[in-house]
Amino acid sequence: MQSEMMRRASFSGLRYSQCWEDADVLLEALDVRPGDVCLSIASAGDNTLALLARSPLRVTAIDFNPAQIACLELRVAAYSELSWEAMLELLGFRDSVRRLTLYSRCRSRLSPIARGFWDACPAWIETGVGSAGRFDRYLAMFRKFILPLAHSRKRVERLLHCRSRAERESFYIREWDNHRWRILFRSFFSRFVMARLGRHPDTFRYVDGDVAGRILARTRHALTVLDPGENPYLQWILTGRYQSALPFALREENFDAIRANLERLEWHCGSLEEFFDQTGTQTIDHCNFSDVFEYMSRGQFERTLDRIARTLRPGGRIAYWNLLVPRRRPESLAQILRPLGALAADLHARDKAFFYEGFVLEEAA
């Protein structure tokens, strides 16, 4: 099966240097057990590594962008060679003046392609590779140039320290949701600006409706219903730091479990379609597909999902996110794939990576 995305557009270059999906949601959804076989979109590597904390038999990461594979490889090398604190330094999540030295300790563990990629990017390493992706730099522009036009740093800090939901709702209405905030937000997160600065233009091919308004509504949910003090993704977007919370793979309590299972991880640079053309039936237990399906036409999505469903063992699960394009199992696959709608809805309500419109969880019959 040909890859529609690879045929239509180039997604080269580092798109994401952090994973912008909540691994806590992913792990609860998939319920990975020791001995399971998992497939994961590589992306920046964080959520693929999070799966290792559950001691599966094998995790296979796949991405058709070699820069994303290089990002995963550098994380694997950092978990192998560095302490938890040093790993956070190298990736840019703690202050450091020795990132190039830390990189030199990890360099020999990289493949020639990944080594060449990172050797050519010393400035990214010095500033922290977690800020280097196109989308990550887009969010940094919002933080540095747009947010200060609407809110002071002091007001941002006050927002992050609102503890009760009632307090957050009141603060949002009285002090945050002003006219300037809405205008600036809608402008910066419009389809036009996101396509120019944040995401590849082709990712909007199947998007309809008001992009910025939908993201603004989800942002209100994150600022009021969810607790910003427990939300690492929101903290990074607003301050450029993880102040009081870390994503799953970066937490100290998960570091040793991930490192102990690194040998169970393998990765491939290629398309999903190519991978499943070479995969037998009933060979995989669980899959993390990030939000890749909304880059496909509906027909391509349904054909790909059919092929995926036949590789799942009975009871195997697939998880994926809908950002702006609705993608869910069609009725034509009802006999082999069933939605776990109630659990997915509960997890979506708690999803700290708040900007997604939907979280989808489906299980092989």
Residues 232-272 pLDDT 10s: 999 999 999 999 999 999 999 999 999 999 999 999 999 99
**Pairing mode, strands 358-364 and 337-339:** antiparallel
> What Cα–Cα distance (Å) separates residue 297 from each residue in 88, 200, 290, 319?
38, 16, 16, 19
Residues 180-223 pLDDT 10s: 999 999 999 999 999 888 887 777 888 888 999 999 999 999 99
Is 35's pLDDT higher than 60? yes
Q: Name the band, by pLDDT with cuts 50, 70 and 90, for residue 358.
A: very high
pLDDT at 3: 56
Average predicted confidence (pLDDT) for the chain: 94
pLDDT at 2: 47
Q: SS3 for 38?
A: strand
Q: Do residues 215 and 184 touch, judged by C-beta distance below 8 A?
A: no
Is 1's pLDDT higher than 80? no
Q: Where are the alpha helices (DSSP H) in the chain?
A: 4-8, 23-30, 46-52, 66-81, 84-91, 99-106, 112-119, 122-127, 134-141, 147-150, 153-160, 165-171, 179-188, 191-193, 211-224, 232-239, 252-260, 272-277, 298-311, 341-349
Is 286's pLDDT higher than 50? yes
Distance CA 40, CA 38 (A): 7
Q: Name the band, by pLDDT with cuts 50, 70 and 90, for residue 10.
A: low
**Pairing mode, strands 265-269 and 284-288:** unpaired
Residues 93-149 pLDDT 10s: 999 999 999 999 999 999 999 999 999 999 999 999 999 999 999 999 999 999 999
pLDDT at 55: 98
Mean pLDDT for the stretch of residues 334-352: 97
Which one has a higher pLDDT value, 363 or 195? Answer: 363
Kind plus residue range of the DSSP H or E element containing 318 = strand 312-322
pTM: 0.94
Residues 157-180 pLDDT 10s: 999 998 899 999 999 999 999 999
Is 9's pLDDT higher than 90? no
